Amino acid sequence: MTAEAARLKRLTRLERVRALAKQDALRAAAEAEGHLAQLQALADRTARLAADYRARRDCTSGADLRRLAIFADGLAAIGSATTRDALAARAAADQRQLDLARAERSRAAVEERARSEAQKLARLRARPALAARKAIGTGLEE
């Protein structure tokens, strides 16, 4: 195996590795986006619940009103924590998207190098190994 063919084989193998890395990055990005969507939905639902409980006016005593206020405050605290978690998940999802873009650029660069090496190898193989011999003698000799 020539050095050029060995280099092409290494580049092809590297391209497969980079494609697998891209798939891993894609999976991680999808998981991060899914986690973000879940947290955002949970934060929205918790905020709606807290607002609904704060808007209730069916308390018959001060103790009922106090329990309702404590419960609504607890829901608001959970909503705030969930919103903070959603912001952290957004940052993580953005980072996973950057990782995915980086993996794609890396894979594309190796693919381009492999394509270039394959073209170079094809040109070398198309060229005859020995140049045409210079004619010796006259055209009358055959």
Place of tokens 């405050």: 73
- Residue 21's alpha-carbon distances to 32, 82, 99, 107, 108, in angstroms, are 16, 31, 10, 9, 12
End-to-end CA distance of the chain: 39
- Separation CA 36–CA 86 (nearest Å): 6
Six-digit token pair at 11? 């580049």
pLDDT at 96: 95
Per residue in 65-116, pLDDT (tens digit) is 899 999 999 999 999 999 999 999 999 999 999 999 999 999 999 999 999 9
97 burial level (CB within 10 Å; 0-12, 13-18, 19+): middle
pLDDT at 141: 61
